[in-house]
Amino acid sequence: MRVHRFVARSRIRASAAETFRWHERPGALERLTPPWDRVEVLARTGGIRDGGRVVLHVPAGPIRFRWVAEHTDYDEDRRFVDRQIEGPFSHWIHEHRFEPDGDAACFLVDRIEFALPGWLAGELAGLGAARERLTRMFAWRHEITAADLDRHAAARARGPLRIAVSGATGLLGSALRAFLTTGGHAVFRLVRPRPVPAVDDIPWDPAAGRLEAARLEGLDAVVHLAGENIGSGRWTKARVERIRASRVAPTRLLARTLAGLKSPPRVLVCASAVGWYGDRGDEVLDESSGPGDGFLAEVCRQWEAAAAPATERGIRVVHLRFGVVLTAAGGALARMLPAFRLGAGGPVGSGRQVLSWVGLDDVLGAIHFAIGREDLAGPVNVTSPEPVTSAEMARTLGKVLRRPAGMPLPAAVVRLLFGEMGRSLLLDGQRVLPRKLLGAGFCFRHPSLEAALRFELGRLDRPPEGVDLRFGAESGNPG
C-alpha cells in the first residue's frame, strides 16, 4: 500500500484556544464544507471528542460514497483526529493541530495520511483527482477559517448573542446559522410547528398568523430571511400572489409581535432586494435613490413597510437590499454552471444590463455587521462595490472555468421561456452601490467578481497568502 501525506498550514490571527473552539462549535463542519462540494451530513454524534462520529454522503464525480469518520486523540485546545471507518479510501487519518504562536495567534495545521484503493490501479485513476481535491478544499478551508475568526474577533466586545433567524433552513439561512454558531452565538430557528421540535426551534405559522411571542422575549437580535424563491419558475398570477404574501404578511406578523414584547430585541434585520429600484439602466443608485416601477419594486416597498411596527416600538430595523447572491451551493450561479462548464454559456439579452451581485460570504459578513452596528438602520444595499454587465459576468465566469462563453441567450428566448420572471430577473438591470456599508467601515472580502467566483468555485490561481500546501508519499503500510 502506498501511503500519501498532505499538509496544509497557515497562521491564524486568533489564539490556539479560540481557533480550537471555533472547530468544536456547532456549524463548523458546514462552514468547512466548500460550496461546490455537495457533501450531505446524514448523522453525527459526540462532536469532535473521542468516540464522536459523523456520517456523510460524499460526491466523487457521478458516484456518491458513504463516509463514516470517528474522532479520536482529543486534546483540548491542541489537537483532534478523525479516522475513516468506512469510505472511498483504503486508509485515511486527518489530524487537526493548533500550535500557539504567542497569546493572540496560532498555526492551524491539517495533516492527512491517505491511501487509495486498488494500489496501482487506484494510483493511476485517483491520485491526480485526490491531489486536486485536497488542494482546492484546504486552500478554501484555511481562508474561510481565518476570515470567520477575524470577523468574530472584530465583534467580540458584544459578547455572545441570542439571535432568532427565519428562513433558517434555506440556502442563506442555513449558511448564516453555521457562521453565527461557530462564532459562539446561540441561534434559534423560526420554523413551522413540527411533531418533534428541536430545542432551538421557535414555532411560527405565518399563514395562520401564529407566533409564540414568549419565545422571543429577551433575544438580542432577529434576522428575517423567509420568503418564497422568486427565480424558481414562471410568474403565474397565483405565484405572484404567493411571492407577495410570503414576504409582506410574515414580516408584519413578526414586527407586530416584536413590538408587543416586554423585552424586545435591539435590532431586527430584514431581507429586502435591489428589485426595490426597478429597471434603471446604467443610473448609479444608492440608498438615497427613489423607488422604481414594476412588480419587484412594488413587493419590496410593501415588504419594507410591513416592518413599521417594530420601528415605531423603538427597535432598530435594517432592511438589507440584497443583490444577486453568488454561491456554487445554489441560486443563480449554480443554475448557470452546467451550461458554462459545457462551453455553452454567454451573456443574456443585449449583455449591457447591469448586474448588482454579491458573494455569499460577504452577505453573511454584512448581516453580522448589521446586527452589531448601532448606527446602521433603514435601507442598506448588500451588493459588491463593483457591479458588472451581463457580458462581463459571462466573460469572467468563462475565464474562471477556462471555457468559452460567447453563446448568448437572446432576449426573445428569455421572454418566451420565462415570461415576466425572465424579463425582471435576467433582462432588467440596476447599478447599485453599497454606500452605507462602505461608509460604516464594512470590508468586503471579495469585492471583484473574478475573486468572488474563484473563491466560490474553488478555482484559486494560487493558494491564499500565508497558506502552505504540501504533498509527500512513501511506500509501506500506514502506522
Is residue 159 left, alpha or beta, with left meaning phi > 0 and alpha meaning psi from -120 to 50? left
Q: What is the model's pLDDT at position 122?
A: 65
Integer Cα distance of 146 and 36 in angstroms: 19
Q: Cell match 452596528: residue?
A: 373
Secondary structure letter of residue 290 according to DSSP = P
pLDDT digits (tens, 9 = 90+) for 141-192: 999 999 999 999 999 888 899 999 999 999 999 999 999 999 999 999 999 8
Q: Which residue has the higher pLDDT, 214 or 59?
A: 214
Looking at CATH, the fold of the domain delimited by 2-153+468-475 is given as Alpha-D-Glucose-1,6-Bisphosphate; Chain A, domain 4 (3.30.530)
Q: What CATH code is assigned to 155-447? A: 3.40.50.720
Integer Cα distance of 256 and 458 in angstroms: 43
pLDDT digits (tens, 9 = 90+) for 340-371: 999 999 999 999 999 999 999 999 999 999 99
Q: What is the model's pLDDT at position 472?
A: 80
Residue 89 near residue 116, CB atoms below 8 Å = yes
Grid cell at residue 313: 416600538
Residue 83 near residue 70, CB atoms below 8 Å = yes
* Banded model confidence at residue 479, pLDDT cuts 50, 70, 90: very low
Q: What is the model's pLDDT at position 123?
A: 67
Residue 265 near residue 222, CB atoms below 8 Å = yes
Integer Cα distance of 381 and 438 in angstroms: 10
Query: Are β-strands 186-191 and 201-205 bridged in parallel, bridged antiparallel, or unpaired?
Result: parallel
Q: Does the structure show a pLDDT above 60 at 478?
A: no
Share of the chain above pLDDT 90, in %: 78
Residue 400 near residue 328, CB atoms below 8 Å = no
Q: What is the model's pLDDT at position 232?
A: 74
Rounded average pLDDT over 88-115: 96
Rounded average pLDDT over 232-249: 88
Lowest-confidence region among 38-47, 263-272, 421-430: 421-430
Closest to 138 in 3D by CA, of 471, 448, 401, 427? 471
Share of the chain above pLDDT 70, in %: 97
Q: Does the structure show a pLDDT above 80 at 320?
A: yes
Rounded average pLDDT over 72-85: 97
* Banded model confidence at residue 119, pLDDT cuts 50, 70, 90: low
Q: What is the domain partition of the chain in residue ranges?
A: 2-153+468-475, 155-447
Count CB neighbours of 251 within 10 A: 29
Rounded average pLDDT over 288-292: 95
pLDDT digits (tens, 9 = 90+) for 195-221: 777 888 999 999 899 999 999 999 999
Q: Does the structure show a pLDDT above 70 at 376?
A: yes
Q: Does the structure show a pLDDT above 80 at 313?
A: yes
* Banded model confidence at residue 193, pLDDT cuts 50, 70, 90: confident
Classify 470 as helix, strand or coil.
strand
* Banded model confidence at residue 2, pLDDT cuts 50, 70, 90: confident
Q: What is the model's pLDDT at position 60?
A: 75
CA distances (Å), 173 to each of 141, 363, 407, in order? 20, 11, 34
pLDDT digits (tens, 9 = 90+) for 244-287: 999 999 999 999 999 999 999 999 999 999 999 999 999 999 99
Q: Which residue has the higher pLDDT, 390 or 62?
A: 390
Query: Are β-strands 63-75 and 79-86 bridged in parallel, bridged antiparallel, or unpaired?
Result: antiparallel
* Banded model confidence at residue 460, pLDDT cuts 50, 70, 90: confident
Q: Does the structure show a pLDDT above 70 at 475?
A: no
Rounded to the nearest integer, the mean pLDDT of the chain is 93
Rounded average pLDDT over 388-393: 96
Q: What is the model's pLDDT at position 159?
A: 85
